[in-house]
Amino acid sequence: MNDPISVLIVDDSESVRTYLRSILENTDYRVFDAAHGREGLEVFDRERPDIVLTDLEMPEMDGLTFIAELNIKYINVPVIVISGKGTLPIGIEAVRRGAWDYLIKPFDEEVLELTIRRTLERLRLQAENRRYREQLEERVQAQTRDLSEGRERYQRLLESVTSYVYTVSVEGGMPVETVHRPGCVKVTGFTGEEFVAAPDLWNRVVHPDDRPMVMGMTQRMLTAPANLDFEHRIFHKDGSIRWVKNTLVPSLDMEGALLSYDGIIADITGRKLAEEKLKRHMGNLAALHNIDQAISGSLDLGITLNVFMRETLMQLNIDAACVFLLDPHSLMLEYASGLGFATEQACFTPVRLADSFKGCSTWGHDNRFFCIIDSFEEAATPKTLIEQEGFKAFIGIPLIAKGQVKGVLEIFHRAPLNPDQEWLDFVEALAGQAAIALENAELYDSVQRSHSELLLAYDTTIVGWSRALDFRDMETEGHSQRVTDLTIRLAQAMGIGKDKLAHIRRGALLHDIGKLGVPDGILLKPGKLTDEEFEIMKRHTEIAFSILSPIEFLRPALDIPYYHHEKWNGSGYPRGLKGEVIPLAARIFTIVDVWDALCSDRPYRPAWPAEKAREYILNESGASFDPAIVKMFSTLIFQGKQPNERGR
């Protein structure tokens, strides 16, 4: 019975370790854990787990140092990074230090299990490769030992080996004769006699892209004899391409000169195909992950589609691709993003959805794949584009989300495409990702529009309230709008950001909303208020707080309605705040409010001239008003035309 797979969890969060332990133990893994990298090294030394899961940010020893230390002591340890920092540089650095995979927190159980299975498969393949190497090395060592016992015995041994074995005789540092053993036909399809009859046949059998490397290894054997092994491709007699492992073993004379060397060739096509398939699957998963990250990490559809285009071309190994978005009103497909084209984007003219796949054959699940292979005669794609680009194959895939077509993914290639089902399945997965991106962008735009419309409705209502307040007191009509405009100007001059200006504007418009609770007899009294009446009047700030605080949207605007009668020296109301404890928005508004009141006609006095009002403001600097804001206000008012100034 096989021992269960053991996993070491290294994370400074006890809750994360507990969570991962519960998942892994339920899947019959043996689990060890450590709180930081140093402890992780100790546990690894003691338990020798099969796989390590590690965080990056930890006390004592961080994850990157832990991975590096682990790979110094032990060769090629399967490490999966689990981190909340999902950035490409960190991921690259983790892989550079020796990590096998990278998981971004938070992740679900299925993702964790898939990543571990993928790591175990890679581990299995490496173990298989290692066993193969060991067996081959043992075989070569045995053959080398036999060489010392006699050439004839070694010759019989070579002839009994079923793998492809050949011997090259050397004179004066140059090869003079090559003998191909009978096993060569099993690997290459050619007999030894065919190799003898055509001395250049071996050179033609080796794949042209690999010939420089094979020739280089041969030259190394001739100039510096040593055991050499390398992998390369060959053409089988049936025309197929095979991967082989080529091991060279020298035979030297007593003085160390090269007499000959033997080549042992094993067909490793199956292993290489498995590795390529795993690499392709990992690449596909990485591409889908990168697209997921782009979708979740950016609200800019252009950025997301750029990532999508790049991953699509790289993983599908195609020449060009583009995405068209569907206008739901006109049912026209309009170009959105593309990559791999030499022509201008202007060539991508809008096309009706109904015409987009005219003449296409249908592939895939639920007729979702629409393809043209080697023919564009009936396609809606512009002929000039096809001619200029030299495309030979086209695949169009509708992008469907929630049962509705959102757009089309178009794939182009300058050679015929012969896609297998696995390739088509991945195209379908890519199309699903693109559809999700379009759906998210559409949803975000809808939310943005709704939010803007709601803000507009709120602001329209607030302006209506402020006008109602002005109409109640006809002597101050227009006051709210004037103080709001000037407050915004002053706040901008003070360097306040755009996000806060919106709240200041609303607070200024509603600064006197609390006067709704003040009786008309007091609010509209032409003469001076009595002490009792003034106390009632002062309550309007608290009434404003009571009216506005339950409205979540207006809470950030409360500073002005509630605090605009506070004074710099602490003598104001309602709370007697002093200095910078008073909110900045209220300190700004207070000066503007007093200025407008002084420069406006009131029942109990006429408007003051601008210079007299300015003098009053300056005199109250440090008493009623913030000196820094007074200085900025004075500069602002008397450098430009003040909208409330009436020439007095």
DSSP string, 208-273: TTTHHHHHHHHHHHHHS---EEEEEEEE-TTS-EEEEEEEEEEEE-TTS-EEEEEEEEEE-HHHHH
Q: Is the pLDDT of residue 476 over 70?
A: no
592 versus 358: which is more confidently predicted?
592
Contact yes or no for 229/266 (Cβ under 8 A): no
pLDDT at 166: 87
Q: What is the pLDDT of residues 435-467, one digit of tens each?
A: 777 777 766 665 566 556 666 776 777 777 777
Phi (first) and psi of residue 11, to 5 degrees = -160, 135
Contact yes or no for 293/86 (Cβ under 8 A): yes
CATH 3.30.450.20 spans which residues of the chain? 150-267
CATH second-level architecture of 276-438? 2-Layer Sandwich (3.30)
As a residue count, the chain comes to 648
427 confidence band (pLDDT: 50, 70, 90)? confident
Q: Is the pLDDT of residue 150 over 50?
A: no
Least confident of 105-114, 193-202, 247-256, 620-629: 105-114
416 confidence band (pLDDT: 50, 70, 90)? confident
Could you give the 3-state DSSP secondary structure of residue 12? coil
Could you give the 3-state DSSP secondary structure of residue 5? coil
pLDDT at 236: 92
Q: What is the pLDDT of residues 246-304, one digit of tens each?
A: 999 999 888 888 999 998 888 888 888 877 777 777 777 777 777 777 766 666 788 88
Structure-block tokens of residue 368: 């979702």
408 confidence band (pLDDT: 50, 70, 90)? confident
Q: State how far the Cα of 482 lies from the Cα of 476, in Å rounded to an integer.
A: 10
Q: State how far the Cα of 9 lies from the Cα of 21, in Å rounded to an integer.
A: 8
582 versus 127: which is more confidently predicted?
582
Annotation: CATH topology of 150-267: Beta-Lactamase (3.30.450)
pLDDT at 645: 42
pLDDT at 154: 42
Contact partners, residue 191, CB within 8 Å, separation at least 6: 182, 184, 185
Q: Does domain 473-639 have CATH number 3.40.50.300?
A: no
Contact partners, residue 536, CB within 8 Å, separation at least 6: 518, 519, 522
CATH 3.40.50.2300 spans which residues of the chain? 6-129
pLDDT at 162: 41
Q: What is the pLDDT of residues 345-371, one digit of tens each?
A: 545 666 666 555 554 544 444 444 555
Q: State how far the Cα of 410 lies from the Cα of 308, in Å rounded to an integer.
A: 13
Q: Is the pLDDT of residue 177 over 70?
A: yes
Q: What is the pTM of this model?
A: 0.45
pLDDT at 429: 80
- Secondary structure string (H, E, C) spanning 206-226: ECCCCHHHHHHHHHHHHHCCC
Q: For the chain, what is the mean pLDDT?
A: 80
Annotation: CATH topology of 6-129: Rossmann fold (3.40.50)
Structure-block tokens of residue 321: 């691709």
pLDDT at 26: 85
Q: Is the pLDDT of residue 644 over 50?
A: no
Range 84-121 burial, b when 16+ CB lie within 10 A, else e? eeeeeebbeebeebbbbbbbbeeeeeeebeebbebbee
